Amino acid sequence: MNFTDEKNEDGVTERGFTLEVAGNPVPGVLWLAQAAEGQRPLLLIGHGGGRDKLFPPLVASARHYARALGYAVVAIDAPGHGARAMPDQAARVAQHVRHDMTATGGLSADTLALMMRWATQAVPEWRAVIDAVQALTEVGSGPVAYCGLSLGTMIGLPLLAAETRIKVAALGLVGLGAGSAQLEAAARQVSVPVEFLMQWDDELVPRSQALAMYDALGSVQKTLHANPGRHADVPPFERAGWMAFFTRHLGGIPSPA
Amino acid sequence: MNFTDEKNEDGVTERGFTLEVAGNPVPGVLWLAQAAEGQRPLLLIGHGGGRDKLFPPLVASARHYARALGYAVVAIDAPGHGARAMPDQAARVAQHVRHDMTATGGLSADTLALMMRWATQAVPEWRAVIDAVQALTEVGSGPVAYCGLSLGTMIGLPLLAAETRIKVAALGLVGLGAGSAQLEAAARQVSVPVEFLMQWDDELVPRSQALAMYDALGSVQKTLHANPGRHADVPPFERAGWMAFFTRHLGGIPSPA
């Protein structure tokens, strides 16, 4: 894990890094309260399709978790995204998704297949990131939480199925339809507490498919949250509510400030 | 409004009262922080079927709202419940509901019709209680919140449709099926922010009926929460979460303690 840059602001240290996994350099960011020492919970944030590790709302919430709860927080660029995106590919994907948004029946088989290839690649990347970050003495081997919507959930489900260090997860904006047998199998293997978010009028995920995904989750403790609106209209209070959800399961550690 | 008794405990004053509405004495309880002065939000708590205004979890949460947020909190016995129950009637209703719980398809038309008669009677009772409680200088004309599940929602929906002083509501455990045209009409008239709770394996409310009720709510801001389990298995964190929901919409006032 090579740290590439560091920035200190409002009591939070933000460090960029690169970690090589299976020959690919994976770019990421780690947020920690300044002067953090010793073991603490680790929160993994998976961005959505077309976003990246420095999507401003993601960064704002990462900083808040680090400052207010003392969590270590890490985000990486998913395959095909952020510093890993090839401009041609990004344009092609955006075109795919724009097309799906105006069609009926949710994500097309093409878009879904591409995203599932990314998810399959992302799982060992996230696992290597957990190894590397927890090896830092200022993070340590505390409990791990995952949050991510849409593409962040397509990656999160197989990651949760594979990775026993993750103890709680906030997911959503993904459904079960044709071509999602792999996602369904992963969902059924999930056993940790999950908060699952859907949008009632999601143009990419038909209502019945989102409900079927919630139903398929293997967790004994799983809560569905739904709000009116389209795919991108998740109300801000939902992400804010994840903090109470994670704290309920992992606790917080006192802010060093 | 005649106060009948008073108890002070842990900084909260609990006063029993009776208010006559349309010739019926309605028994209630009012909780306030000791030494409360001036206007504050008012929370109405509607109990479920077979419960009453002194159901211990209701009392615990009323005391918490009064102490931690400074809200005035009031509960009344619904028609046919608590101090208003006739033993024969209570036994008959319990038998109805036990029967419905073992049948399929949710509440029977008989049970539903009885509950809707209670709801119709309860609406003017609650409105008179708001008048009387807000006339107290230590409560005043602040915003009003309502919470109540099951029977508390069958009463809450027509109350919300009729009463513009209520600005936010937590509801749930009621569906839309055969015989619920009156409830559906009320739901469509509701316009304030609502958090609507359902149980994924509710033996009294089929899943599709609960989803239809959420869908029918007229509010622009409405959030659905679902959890696995039967009608009575609502996880404690859901009621605890109402506090954040109400505070988000009505604020809190500093505890006098």
The 10s digit of each residue's pLDDT in A29-77 is: 999 999 899 999 999 999 998 899 999 999 999 999 999 999 999 999 9
Closest-CA distance, A135 to chain B, in angstroms, reads 34
Question: Contact A224/B223, CB-based, under 8 Å?
Answer: no
pLDDT band at A208, cuts 50/70/90? very high
Q: DSSP 3-state assignment of B72?
A: strand
Contact B147, B45 (CB under 8 A): yes
CA–CA separation, A220 and A212 (whole Å): 16
Mutate to test the interface with B, among A168, A224, A247, A249 (most CBs of B within 10 A): A224
- Summarised one tens digit per residue, pLDDT across range A163-199 is 999 999 999 999 998 888 999 999 999 999 999 999 9
- What DSSP designation does B84 have? G
- Summarised one tens digit per residue, pLDDT across range B54-74 is 999 999 999 999 999 999 999
Question: Is B223 at the interface with chain A, CB within 8 A?
Answer: yes
Q: What pLDDT sits at residue A231?
A: 94
Q: What pLDDT sits at residue A257?
A: 37
Q: What is the value of ipTM here, to two decimals?
A: 0.89
- What are the structure tokens assigned to A140, written together? 């340590």
- The alpha carbon of residue B11 and the mean position of all alpha carbons in its chain are separated, in whole angstroms, by 24
Nearest to A11, CA basis, from A69, A93, A85, A50: A69
- Summarised one tens digit per residue, pLDDT across range B228-249 is 999 999 999 999 899 999 999 9
Nearest to A197, CA basis, from A166, A230, A174, A220: A174
Of B211, B222, B237, the CB nearest to A228: B222
- Summarised one tens digit per residue, pLDDT across range A112-169 is 888 899 999 999 999 999 999 999 999 999 999 999 999 999 999 999 999 999 999 9
- Summarised one tens digit per residue, pLDDT across range B103-159 is 666 778 888 888 899 999 999 999 999 999 999 999 999 999 999 999 999 999 999
Residues in chain B within 8 Å Cβ distance of A190: none
Q: What pLDDT sits at residue B112?
A: 86
Could you tell me the CA-to-CA distances from A90 to A49, A131, A166, B72, B74 in Å, in that order?
10, 29, 30, 55, 57
Question: Is A241 at the interface with chain B, CB within 8 A?
Answer: yes
Least confident of A116-125, A174-183, B93-102, B191-200: B93-102
Of B211, B214, B248, the CB nearest to A237: B248
Nearest to B10, CA basis, from B62, B55, B51: B62
Q: Give the amino acid at A23.
A: G
Contact B73, B242 (CB under 8 A): no
pLDDT band at A106, cuts 50/70/90? confident
Mean pLDDT of B169-198: 96
Residues in chain B within 8 Å Cβ distance of A223: 225-227, 235
Closest-CA distance, B177 to chain A, in angstroms, reads 19
Judge whether residue B257 has pLDDT over 50.
no
Q: Give the amino acid at B49.
A: G
Cα-Cα-Cα-Cα dihedral of B108, B113, B116, B122, to 10°?
-120
CB atoms within 10 A of CB B178: 11
Q: Going by C-beta distance under 8 Å and a sequence separation of 6 or more, which residues neighbour residue B254? A: B70
In sequence order, what E strands does B126-235 have?
144-149, 166-172, 194-199, 222-227
Q: What pLDDT sits at residue A94?
A: 73
User: What domains are there in chain B, each with its CATH number?
Assistant: 2-250 (3.40.50.1820)
